[in-house]
Amino acid sequence: MHTNPVSPLLQLQGLQIAYGGIQAVKGIDLELFKGELVCLIGANGAGKTTTLNAIAGVLPLAGGEIRYNGDRINAVPAHKRLRQGIALVPEGRGIFTRLTVEENLRMGAYTRTDKDGIEADLEKVYTMLPRVKERLPQVAGTLSGGEQQMVAIGRALLSRPRLLLLDEPSMGLAPLVVEKIFEVVQSVAKEGVTILLVEQNANLALEFAQRGYVMESGKVTLTGSGESLLADPKVRAAYLGEAA
């Protein structure tokens, strides 16, 4: 759990994001403490992916602010946020399909110059993701969806993130593969990486997360521990397919 309740690693204050004239995110507050695994759940179009993209620096803000490690980073470009330890695994994985698995992983370390550290981190990824190690010379586009997701996570880990943003890691994957992906996410969290997870499978996300935020139509409507949200009748009815 968080070590210092006074200073969150990530803090969103009144965050607003607009596409054209449409406001996709309408002034949300959210915080993550070091070492936490927190999930963001909600229906499609609630603004979850938009929020992650804004944190990563991929989308500009229409209002509010993002503080990371105590500093306001609204104007910091995406590549500098990556150097500061914010890594995004986008929805749809976003791997380089024509490169090999090994080349994809090494792309994750492109901001780094510590060769020995990179090799050590590659070995860590191979231990955590043995399936990926077996596929190193293979062209990434020929992998299964689950294997591609593992490569995408491995690539993000090569940037040595302090904050990992995971967007729909289980999307389109078979239940057994989803289980494996979540085991990996848990291993990453145990290494001390802070994780903000956007996930359609609300049941699974809330089981794994220490805390959760529920988003509806660009606003946070509910927040609490994973356990309390799992037990909440409104959450169960809206996202877990149960009658209220």
In a domain, residue 50? The reply is yes
Nearest to 4 by CA among 30, 31, 29, 34: 34
pLDDT of residue 6: 66
What integer pLDDT is reported at residue 200 of this predicted model? 87
In a domain, 167, yes or no: yes
Where does the chain have alpha helices with state H?
48-56, 78-83, 101-107, 115-128, 130-134, 145-157, 175-190, 202-208, 226-231, 233-239
- Domain assignment present for 226: yes
pLDDT of residue 94: 87
Instruction: Give the CATH number for residue 119.
Output: 3.40.50.300
Q: Does residue 16 form part of some domain?
A: no
Select from 65, 61, 66, 70 the least CA-distant residue to 34: 70
Residue 189 belongs to a domain: yes
Residue 6 is assigned to a structural domain of this protein: no
Domain range spanning residue 208? 34-58+78-240
Q: Which helix (H) or strand (E) holds 58?
A: none
Per-residue pLDDT of the chain (244 residues; tens, 9 = 90+): 454 456 899 999 999 999 888 899 999 999 999 999 999 999 988 999 999 999 999 999 999 999 999 999 999 999 999 999 999 999 987 899 999 999 999 999 998 999 999 999 999 999 999 999 999 999 999 999 999 999 999 999 999 999 999 999 999 999 999 999 999 999 999 999 999 999 988 999 999 999 999 999 999 999 999 999 999 999 998 887 665 4
Give the DSSP H/E element, type plus range, for residue 222: strand 219-225
Q: Report how many helices (DSSP H) and strands (DSSP E) the chain contains, helices first.
A: 10, 10
* 5 inside domain: no
Q: How many domains is the chain built from?
A: 1
pTM: 0.93
Residue with tokens 């110059």: 113
pLDDT of residue 25: 97
pLDDT given at position 92? 84
Q: In this structure, is residue 29 part of a structural domain?
A: no
